[in-house]
Amino acid sequence: MSRRRSRVHDRAVATLETALVAALIAALPVYALNLLSRVQFGPPVGEILTFRFHDQPRPTWHVDARRSSTNRSCILRPAVMAVSHGSMVVERRLPDGRTFQAHWAGGPTSDDAGNCGSDVDLAIGLAAMQTLVSADATAVHWHFIGL
């Protein structure tokens, strides 16, 4: 009788272990999605991007932005922005979480009709902001406020 009780006990423990492992496996994706939804990509509010090219080649890439005052599209070309050694301050993240409001101060942002202006508030999408930050590490330098 003791062996029978031991086998029943072993089966119950094995069933409980299996149920616990299954519950953990089922909960892991929910936890991961919850955690991912809390992660915010892009620069934090208050970051300053400066555009300067010393002796490095100037990139030809550009990103699209929108003037906050008129909602008209315009172009940010870091190679042009670097000529005036201007800077951009990330002022806030809009409620949609995928758009940043930033202020550009310097010279023109582009050498064509897409110029945003030399002192302008901009709405910049997350992908465009990440491109500005990471597409050419030799071109864009970060400065952290308060450090």
CB 90 within 8 A of CB 140: no
Cβ count near 133 (within 10 Å): 16
**How far apart, in whole angstroms, are the C-alpha atoms of residue 65 and residue 103?**
11
Beta-carbon-side half-sphere exposure of residue 104 (alpha carbons within 13 Å) = 32
pLDDT exceeding 90 applies to what percent of the chain?
33
- Lowest-pLDDT range of 5-9, 97-101, 110-114, 124-128: 5-9
More confident residue, 3 or 75: 75
Confidence of residue 10 (pLDDT cuts 50, 70, 90): confident
Cα-based distances in Å from 66 to 36, 86, 100, 115, 119 = 28, 18, 10, 11, 13
**Mean pLDDT of the residues in the chain:** 79
Place of tokens 């042009």: 80
**How far apart, in whole angstroms, are the C-alpha atoms of residue 26 and residue 121?**
46
Cα-based distances in Å from 138 to 46, 65, 72, 134 = 21, 22, 29, 9
Q: What is the per-residue pLDDT for 146?
A: 39
pTM for the model stands at 0.66
pLDDT digits (tens, 9 = 90+) for 18-75: 878 887 788 778 766 665 555 566 788 888 888 776 555 466 788 999 999 999 999 9
Give the H or E element holding residue 4: helix 2-38
Q: What is the per-residue pLDDT for 117?
A: 94
Q: What is the per-residue pLDDT for 32?
A: 66
